[in-house]
Structures are given as C-alpha cells and as structure tokens.
C-alpha cells in the first residue's frame, strides 16, 4: 500500500513539534513527509532568542538539525518559502518554482511581527525581532551604536530590550499603553515592573505615542512623540506584537478571520477538508494563541486526527511564568478580574518590590486568576489550583503569604492533572515513569520531556517525583556505600567539622569495615578538597584510583599521558620548544587539545619522573588532567589582539586558572573566558564560563559537554573583576560541599530544589549566611596549593611507586606503529595491573 503525501509548510517550533509527534506515533508508516522552511536554519527555540545576545550560540537553540530529519526519512527543504497554494489541484509551488502535490497539508506558518504604520518606520536602522537573521542584522547595527529603542512593552518587547541591553546599548522601551505588559498585568503590577526594569538601567516610556521617525542630530534617528517630545537613538526595534501569517491561506481561498488567522475547527481542520492549520497562524473559536504550548497541543491533536485517533483541540491555558531581565513575572487565567462576581485578594510590598494578587470567584473558593511580580515562588501551586479547580482554603491570602500548609498541593491532584503543558505531561505520566524505574529527576525529564519546554514546571515535576518515591517506600537511600551510612554532603560536613585528616580517622568515627572502591576515592577527594595535602602522602596513597595513583591518565596500552598546565592556552616559544624536545626524546604522541594545552601520550610509568623533571625544569607544573579537579581555562585572544574584543580575556583566563589550579571537586571542572559576545572560547559549554561586555563580565554556570551536553545558565551580569572572582569562589566551594559523588555541576544544579534561582540566592544574596565561610575555605585552598609532581620528585619514598614492576627494574614498552609521523599503539593490549601492597 502506497503512502500518502503529507506536506508541512513551516519549520518553526510548532511545525517541528508536529513532526516529532508524528514520528513518535508511527505516522511515517502511513505518510511520506516533506517539510518546507522559509528560513535557512532548521527549527530552533524562538522563545529564548535573546539569549544569543547573552553569549548563547545559535546552534544551541536548534531543536533538530537536518540530519535528524534525513535519518527519519523526512525531506526537509530549507530556504524554500511556499508562494502558491492550489487547493483544487492539491498542489503548491515554492519560491524556486518547484511544485509538489499533497494528499494532506498542514500549515504551520506562524506569525510575523506587527510594525505600527509610523512615518519613517521603513528607514535603514529600524528592525524587527523575530529570527536568527534578524539577530545578525541587529548585532551589526549595535556594534557602532550607543543607544537603542524598542517600540512595544509587551513580552516580546521586553525580551528585545534585554537583547539591546546585553549588547551594551543605552536602552529605552516605548509603550503606547499606560503600563508594561498590558495584556497580562494590571496597573499596580505594570507600575512595579516598570520600576524594577528602570532600576536595571532600562528607561521606560509608557503612554507614549510615536508620531514619526526622522533624521537625528546626535544619533541616527529622532523619534518624535505626540506632544512634541523626542528621543534620539541609533537603533530601533519594533516589537509591538504579532499577526498571524495567513497570506498564503488567504490567497488560496481558505477561510480567514476578519482580523486575520486561518479559521480552524476543534480538530484544527481549515475550510478545506485536506488542510489543517496549527500554531500562531490558526484562529480557533475567534482566538489566536501567541504562546508555544497551545501550538504544541494543536500539533498533537492533528497527529491524532491524521492517524484516526480522534484528536481534538478545545482551547488552551494562556497562563505564563517568565523572568524578564531577572525580574519574576507571572500571570494566570483571568488576571484582570473580568469574570462576573470576581473578588481580589492581594499583597503589595513596594520596598521589596513584590506584588501578588489572587482573583477568586464570588464564593471565594475557586481561583480564577493571579498576578505575580517580583516573586514567582507560588506560581506552580497557584496554577494547579486554577487548572484543576482545587478548592481554596479558608484563607486564600495564605497562598501568597508563605503560610500555606507544608502539604504540597499537587498531592491532591488527580493523575489526569497536566503538570507540563508544553509537552502535555500529566501527573499520571510522571508517576508511571517513576514506577517504571526512573528514580531521578533527570531520568524522568528524559523519558517524559516534562520540564524541558519552557521549564516553568520544573519544581512541580520534582515534587511529584519525590512524593511518588515516598509513596513507593523508596525514600532514597543515598548512602555513599555499605561502609559509610551518610551522603557525600553529610560526610564532607563531618570530616570538616571533626577536622579528620585520614581515611582511618574517618572510618573509626563515621564508618565501618575496611572500605571499598567507592568510599576510598570519595574520602580521598574530600580530604584533598578540605586540607590540600599531597595525594601520595602515605595516609592518602591507598585511596587513589589508577590515574591519581600515578599522577597521569592511564591509556589503553598501559602507558600514561603527560599533561603540563598551560594557563589560558598562553605559552612562550621556549615553552613550545621544551615540550617538543621532550616529546621527541621520549617518542611521545603529541596533541593540542580542545582545552588549549598540549597532551603527550605513551609514557611508560618508569619514564614519568624523568619527563616531569624536565618539564618542571622548563617552568611547567602539573595540569592535573588525571584528577577530579580544575582542568583547563580556555580563552580567546580578547582585546589584546582581536578587533572585536572588549576585555583582556587572556589575562582573566590565566588569573582564573592559576587561582583555582589544584582544586579537587566531586567531578572534573572546565572553565572558559571569552573576550566578547562572539564567544570564540565557547564559555557557555563549561562549568564556569565568563564572557566580557563593555560593562564588565557576564558569568555563566553549570554547563558541560560529555554524553549529556548542557548549556550553561547566565548567573550574573556586568561584574567587576573582584565580584567575578568572589562569586566563582563561592560557587565552587558550595559545589564541593554539597555535590554528590561524581556529580557534574549541571546535574548538581538540576537536582537542587529551586535550581538556578536557589543557587543565585545562596551565592549572590547569601541566603544561608555562608558566603564569608565559603570564601575563607577557598582562601585556604589557594594558600596551600602544591604541584603534585614537584612534591613527588622531591620525595624518594613517593618515587618508589614508579618502578615498572615491583620485583624488577626492566621496562616494557608496548609495540608501536607510526602514522602521520607519530607513534601510536600497534594493537589492543590486554594489560595486567599489579597493585602495590599496602
């Protein structure tokens, strides 16, 4: 049976979600699919577009690359806008003149930015803020500018203002309405948000109508306002709302609404039985939905309909939670109290900058809506009360005053309650995932996708996971092992408070038995993190794994790598010559790494002391590539050489690497410093990333590569050198104190209740009152650093372990072959390891 031809016009977030759901549902067995994208880029996360100006790479926004589509057998045609749609012939034509026939057609054409018809809006230097291509043009325009203006104070406008701010421009927002975010916020909330944003350096002009845009005197443009006032600026961004992209449907003869939008029924079917419309281009029951979650729901409904499963779209919740320039804003349901008989319950603290309002029904028992500004901590709870009709208690005000019962509200929710609206994940789905063996938050997110869309439900997902584990009688046994009945965090605290300095002392007081391959290296790592004693001192020697035991990474043929530290990647010609001479002398394979240093491979264990003696004589020290510790600090050339650089990234990278070298942690740590937002050092893929701006340094945290790559999160902006180092000190020591065994910083933060916001509260606001203590502990680490190889070479007792065999001085060199002028292992070797008797 031949497959039907299914064409999808639009490769945005909703169009891509439709394809994902079709693949998951087995729809490729019935349909041969072709997707048309007008942009040159495959589907990307448009919601987080402004993060590109904060240093995020455009590729990190990508939802799927063209190879993914090809692997599924789906034809993806990019830069292929559809210009003609013939409903009678069921055929379309692209901008390249190519024609394609269809049996079924899905329109996911999205929306386009609305530009007010202000005289002068078409001038060069005026932009919209919608696509990656728009960002490139805006970035180039801002490179030589000082001032930027955003026309529009809604969600998109404030995101655009943040983009200009991140690019270093003096930023203004011009809004026609009497307040910011007029759709979501009431006058009190809008006024409070205005004050908060202005405190961040963005000037806000509300109740302001622009009459025309003309040539400026001190800048490129002059915006003339009604009443005669004006504002001069170099760059203007229009972000005054969106309109459904329905031109193709309109010219083809599909039914569209009076104010735009392709009219669809409850199955998202248009006026043509073979055509469906989803996302921002669709008009359902007189409404266009401008958020991604309703578009995802439409996509799922159409997949179900196409496969004969009776899918339906019956509307969507437009509640939203976001952080605008660091300011919490939340709006739920009928936030303006338009429902008959609605009552308001609110609290306002102008000094702190927090406003919370509940809209309840006439009986006071049902939540109709809410507004939160300055603090979103109750958003998840309130949303569940609203979505599921949970009856309010006797004192609704307690819900926004921090006085609610410790019993979390989702415990009373039915399994059908939607927890993640982006991916339509219910409480029952999460519970089922936990019962199926996914017992960590990361595992549940991976298999259900809950919390991976906008991220607003992350805390609620964690609460459901935790409660399900409790109900299963599985209060997590997070003991280190059978010998140590504590978590790593608890054990760290006990060792620090008790000032225990050996494994035997730890086991005598807090453990049992002789230890194992889990608790020994763990205690060794904690001791190194706290007291910085040499890892090969006799009390610590038995605790080290193979790499730490020989201060080098063991390779598959039984040889070791040699990795000297090259701070920031900067090295003198003499240093290069010295490394080259050593590599040549000992016939080592040499490679420049992604962390900007030089690795030498193939050293026998008995050669390590001689090689390291020569390196230390040449001025090098250990790079600790063998340890769970700070590895590298990658850098670009920054303002020293690059014409785009705004700060000296090399000097900062060297300062950071020399500051934290030798620091032991639960997992390896990698840093990077970029001299501008072009991000050549790839700082946002590192545990600690630093990006220069003309106002200081932006700090990113908890990114990593590896098997589960994670983009780092923006932690703080416009920091001076002193602030930057103070916050890094605190973050690293807090991680060392509280991280689990072999836990990367990304997983550490993801599993932390409150995530990034909690980490900010601890580090930036010193919520726990431990800031000075963390800094003091780091100061101790800095003061007690020692090059482990230098200490080893000076101690004959430590050098004894570098004999090739316990009972012989003969050395064995595994066979080698030569390729590209270098020595490689000739074959896989079966190596027998002989442990030193202790």
String of DSSP letters for 664-718: B-SS-EEEEEESSTT-TT-GGGSSEEEEEETTEEEEEES-B-SSS-BPPEEEEEE
Measured from the Cβ of residue 647, the count of other Cβ atoms closer than 10 Å reads: 23
pLDDT at 162: 84
Task: Tell me what the mean pLDDT of segment 548-563 comes to.
Answer: 85
Of residues 389 and 720, the one with the higher pLDDT is: 720
Task: Tell me what the mean pLDDT of segment 169-198 comes to.
Answer: 92
* Gap between the Cα atoms of 342 and 321, Å rounded: 22
- Residue 332: pLDDT over 70: yes
pLDDT at 72: 93
pLDDT at 419: 82
* Gap between the Cα atoms of 203 and 479, Å rounded: 53
pLDDT at 155: 82
* Per-residue tokens: 283: 């008009």
What's the pLDDT tens digit per position in 187-234? 999 999 999 888 888 999 999 999 999 999 999 999 999 988 999 999
* Per-residue tokens: 757: 């916001």
Please tell me the pTM assigned to this model: 0.58
pLDDT at 811: 65
Coil vs helix vs strand at 451: coil
Q: How far is CA 666 from the centre of its chain?
A: 21
Task: Tell me what the mean pLDDT of segment 403-432 comes to.
Answer: 68
- Residue 66: pLDDT over 50: yes
Coil vs helix vs strand at 321: strand
What's the pLDDT tens digit per position in 347-392? 888 877 889 999 999 988 899 999 999 888 788 888 888 888 888 8
Buried/exposed 539-553: b ≥16 CB within 10 Å, e otherwise: ebbebbbebbbbbbb
Superfamily of segment(s) 126-240: FAD/NAD(P)-binding domain (3.50.50.60)
Q: How confident is the model at residue 277 (pLDDT cuts 50, 70, 90)?
A: very high
* Gap between the Cα atoms of 266 and 121, Å rounded: 39
pLDDT at 440: 74
Domains 4-112+244-306 and 126-240 share a fold: yes
Alpha carbon distance, N-terminus to C-terminus of the chain? 72
Buried/exposed 560-576: b ≥16 CB within 10 Å, e otherwise: bbbbbbbbbbbbeeebe
Which of 156-165, 609-618, 809-818 reaches the highest mean pLDDT?
609-618
Task: Tell me what the mean pLDDT of segment 537-547 comes to.
Answer: 84
Q: How far is CA 537 from the centre of its chain?
A: 40
Mean residue pLDDT of the chain comes to 87
| Residue 769 φ/ψ region, left for φ over 0, alpha for ψ in the -120 to 50 degree band, beta for the rest | left
Which residues pair with residue 242 across a beta bridge?
Answer: 113
pLDDT at 594: 84
* Gap between the Cα atoms of 316 and 296, Å rounded: 10
Maximal C-alpha separation, the chain: 95
What's the pLDDT tens digit per position in 80-118? 999 999 999 999 999 999 999 999 999 999 999 999 999
Cβ atoms 370, 363 nearer than 8 A = no
pLDDT at 283: 96
What's the pLDDT tens digit per position in 650-698? 999 999 999 999 899 999 999 999 999 888 999 998 999 999 998 999 9
Cβ atoms 505, 540 nearer than 8 A = no
pLDDT at 55: 66
CA triplet 430, 311, 16: central angle to 5 degrees? 70
Was domain 623-783 assigned CATH 1.10.3720.10? no
pLDDT at 404: 42
What's the pLDDT tens digit per position in 762-792? 999 998 899 999 999 999 988 998 899 999 9
Measured from the Cβ of residue 217, the count of other Cβ atoms closer than 10 Å reads: 7
Domain ranges in the chain are 4-112+244-306, 126-240, 488-544, 623-783
* Gap between the Cα atoms of 309 and 46, Å rounded: 30
Nearest C-alpha neighbor of 77 from the set 2, 131, 7, 21: 7
Superfamily of segment(s) 4-112+244-306: FAD/NAD(P)-binding domain (3.50.50.60)
* Gap between the Cα atoms of 595 and 705, Å rounded: 12
* Gap between the Cα atoms of 643 and 744, Å rounded: 35
Task: Tell me what the mean pLDDT of segment 638-645 comes to.
Answer: 89
Gyration radius from the chain CA atoms: 30
Cβ atoms 78, 40 nearer than 8 A = yes
For the chain, give the percent of residues with pLDDT over 90. Answer: 51
Coil vs helix vs strand at 275: strand
DSSP E strands, 81-128: 82-86, 91-94, 99-101, 104-107, 111-113, 126-128
CA triplet 333, 338, 343: central angle to 5 degrees? 85
* Gap between the Cα atoms of 173 and 715, Å rounded: 24
* Per-residue tokens: 52: 């590109």
Cβ atoms 220, 257 nearer than 8 A = no
pLDDT at 293: 84
């Amino acid at each position: 049976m031949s497959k039907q031809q299914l064409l999808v016009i639009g490769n945005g977030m909703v169009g891509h979600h439709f394809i994902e759901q079709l693949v998951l549902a087995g729809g490729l067995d019935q349909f041969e699919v072709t997707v048309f994208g007008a942009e040159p880029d495959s589907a990307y996360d448009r919601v987080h577009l402004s993060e590109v100006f904060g240093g995020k790479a455009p590729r990190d926004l990508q939802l799927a690359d063209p190879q993914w589509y090809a692997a599924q057998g789906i034809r993806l045609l990019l830069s292929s806008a559809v210009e003609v749609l013939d409903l009678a012939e069921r055929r379309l034509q692209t901008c390249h003149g190519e024609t394609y026939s269809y049996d079924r057609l899905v329109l996911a054409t999205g929306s386009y930015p609305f530009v007010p018809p202000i005289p002068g809006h078409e001038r060069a230097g005026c932009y919209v803020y919608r696509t990656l291509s728009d960002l490139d043009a805006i970035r180039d325009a801002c490179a030589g500018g000082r001032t930027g203006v955003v026309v529009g104070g809604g969600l998109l406008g404030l995101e655009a203002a943040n983009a200009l701010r991140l690019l270093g421009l003096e930023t203004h927002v011009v809004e026609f309405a009497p307040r910011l975010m007029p759709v979501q916020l009431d006058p009190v909330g809008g006024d409070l948000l205005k004050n908060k944003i202005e405190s961040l350096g963005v000037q806000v002009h509300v109740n302001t109508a622009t009459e025309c845009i003309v040539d400026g005197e001190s800048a490129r443009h002059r915006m003339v306002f009604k009443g005669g006032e004006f504002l001069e600026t170099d760059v203007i961004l229009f972000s005054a709302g969106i309109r459904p992209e329905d031109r193709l449907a309109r010219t083809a003869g599909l039914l569209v609404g009076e104010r735009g939008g392709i009219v669809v029924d409850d199955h998202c079917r248009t006026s043509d039985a073979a055509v469906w419309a989803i996302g921002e281009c669709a008009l359902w029951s007189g409404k266009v939905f401008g958020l991604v979650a309703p578009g995802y729901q439409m996509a799922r409904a159409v997949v179900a309909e196409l496969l004969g499963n009776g899918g339906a779209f019956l509307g969507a919740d437009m509640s939203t939670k976001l952080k605008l320039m660091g300011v919490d804003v939340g709006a739920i349901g009928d936030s303006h109290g338009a429902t008959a008989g609605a009552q308001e319950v609110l609290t306002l603290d102008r000094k702190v900058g927090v406003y919370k309002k509940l809209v309840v029904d006439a009986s006071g028992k049902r939540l109709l809506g809410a507004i939160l500004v300055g603090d979103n901590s109750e958003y998840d709870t309130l949303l569940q009360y609203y979505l599921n009709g949970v009856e309010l208690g006797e004192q609704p005000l307690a819900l926004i005053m921090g006085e609610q019962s410790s019993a979390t509200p989702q415990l009373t929710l039915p399994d059908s309650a939607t927890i993640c609206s982006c991916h339509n994940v219910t409480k029952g789905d999460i519970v089922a995932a936990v019962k199926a063996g996914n017992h960590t938050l990361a595992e549940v997110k991976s298999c259900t996708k809950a919390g991976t869309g906008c991220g607003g439900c992350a805390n609620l997902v964690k609460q459901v996971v935790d409660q399900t584990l409790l109900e299963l009688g599985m209060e997590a046994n997070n003991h280190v092992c059978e010998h140590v009945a504590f978590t790593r965090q608890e054990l760290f605290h006990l060792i620090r408070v008790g000032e225990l300095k050996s494994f035997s002392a730890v086991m005598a007081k807090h453990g049992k038995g002789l230890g194992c391959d889990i608790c020994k290296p763990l205690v060794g790592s904690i001791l190194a993190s706290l007291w910085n004693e040499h890892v090969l001192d006799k009390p610590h020697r038995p605790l080290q794994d193979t790499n730490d035991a020989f201060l080098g990474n063991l390779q598959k043929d039984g040889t070791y790598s040699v990795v000297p530290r090259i701070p920031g990647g900067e090295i003198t010609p003499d240093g290069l010559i010295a490394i080259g001479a050593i590599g040549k002398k000992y016939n080592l394979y040499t490679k420049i790494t992604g962390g900007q240093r030089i690795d030498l491979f193939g050293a026998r264990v008995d050669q390590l002391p001689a090689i390291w003696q020569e390196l230390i004589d040449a001025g090098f020290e250990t790079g600790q590539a063998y340890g769970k510790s700070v590895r590298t600090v990658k850098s670009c050339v920054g303002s020293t050489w690059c014409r785009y650089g705004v700060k000296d990234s090399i000097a900062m990278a060297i300062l950071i690497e020399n500051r934290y070298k030798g620091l032991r942690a639960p997992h390896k740590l990698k840093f990077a410093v970029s001299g501008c937002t072009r991000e050549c050092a790839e700082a946002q893929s590192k545990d600690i990333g630093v990006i220069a701006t003309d106002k200081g340094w932006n700090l990113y945290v908890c990114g990593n590569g590896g098997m589960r790559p994670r983009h780092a999160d923006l932690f703080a902006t416009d920091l001076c050198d002193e602030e930057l180092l103070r916050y890094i000190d605190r973050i690293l020591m807090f991680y060392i104190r509280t991280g689990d065994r072999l836990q990367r910083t990304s997983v550490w933060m993801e599993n932390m209740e409150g995530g990034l916001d909690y980490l900010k509260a601890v580090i930036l606001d010193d919520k726990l009152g431990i800031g000075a203590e963390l800094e003091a502990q780091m100061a101790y680490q800095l003061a007690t650093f020692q090059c482990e190889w230098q200490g080893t070479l000076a101690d004959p007792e430590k050098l004894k372990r570098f004999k090739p065999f316990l009972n012989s001085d003969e050395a064995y060199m595994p066979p080698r072959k030569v390729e590209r002028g270098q020595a490689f292992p000739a074959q896989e070797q079966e190596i027998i390891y002989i442990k030193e008797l202790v």
